[in-house]
Structure 1
Amino acid sequence: MADVVIFGAGQLAEVAKAYFDKFSEDRVVGFTVDKGFLTQTEFKNLPVVAWEGLEERFPPGTVKLIGPLSYQRLNEFRRDRHREGRARGYDFARFIHPSAHNMAEMVGDNCFILENCTLQPFVRLGEGVIIWSNSHVGHHTTVDDFCFLSSQVGLASGVHIGTCCFIGGQVGVDNGITVGSGTYIESRAMIRRDLPPNSVVRHPFDLPKPYSSDRLKAMKFR
């Protein structure tokens, strides 16, 4: 059992706390946000602390961190705060819903895996991977650090998803496909060919658009 601080103080943080409260032995004891977004000192009856001064209230070694859980800046926000937290001496929690069928070979820290997901044998998930409800990750598939898979995603066997990818709901990725880092795949697309890094794929096509996913990083994902 560990005390956990969630990065965020909005809807996703509220959802994460609900899951931890009901299904985890770990205990949520507070929230943290960047100082510029600190508009409240309490959320869900727990303290909200500025990220920049987190050590004053919750020193390393006394808590673990989880999040941020959004895919803001195509997951680079989560990547950056994760790396900074590590550099400041913090460890990270993980959450795997008890209904998940987990036969993965590896699930990294700061992962958040929701209900009814399937992780087949020899799956490898890096750090900071979020998988929403009812998704399937086929055997011998690797999902690299800081990816976000929405609900009802289906990854077939032997797939490789690069770092900081966003995969929308009901996306299917065929056997043996490689999706390059930083790729954005819109909901309901079907991917049948390899995608280069920073691709943007819109439903229903599997060909990337003629522009980089860097264009999407300024969008305010929550």
Structure 2
Amino acid sequence: MFTGIVEELGEIVACEQLTDAARLTIRGKLVTSDAGHGDSIAVNGVCLTVVDVVDDVFTVDVMGETLSRSSIGGLGPGAQVNLERAAAVNSRLGGHIVQGHVDGTGTILTRTPAENWEVVRISLPDAIAKYVVEKGSITVNGISLTVSGLGRAETPAADGTRDWFEVSLIPTTLSLTDLGTAAAGTVMNLEVDVIAKYVERLHQRG
């Protein structure tokens, strides 16, 4: 489990394409400080298992399903990624409950800068739109964020979606995560609040 509070921006060092998987080598000085084989690290919101650690570099294997359901497969050497170690049971929950299981991807549609923050609008796939509410929580590339706006466009976006949501980013988020530099058209990993999915399931079985 994670909290969606990104600890550092890491860098993809190498990407090895396998038959139905990929092996990523990632540099992250902070997250490797106490990491070992079998530990979980969220990479752009995807929970991955550490295979090996050498100095400040760790290696993870990414299976085919994860590659197809997230933006991980599109990353190459030099790409910056948001990194977070699994939450400790005795730590504060600074964000919200994040599983590291991507529900879908959305595309950055617009960025609107203000004096002290920036509003980013992201497309929202039909399959998960029902789980997203204004002032609720959503995870974008592993970042726990509050939904500041919701809407539906008259015409579909380039990725075929009509629904969108907005998040308002403070300077800290802009400077410490990849959302600070991600341009319009960038594909982001989305994870909705797991509580919403459990409530729906209970209602269906009730």
What interval of TM-score do these two structures reach, taking the shorter chain for normalisation?
Answer: under 0.3
Could you say which structure has the higher strand fraction? Answer: 2
Structure scoring higher RCO (CA < 8 A, sep ≥ 6) equals 2
Normalising by structure 2, report the TM-score. 0.25
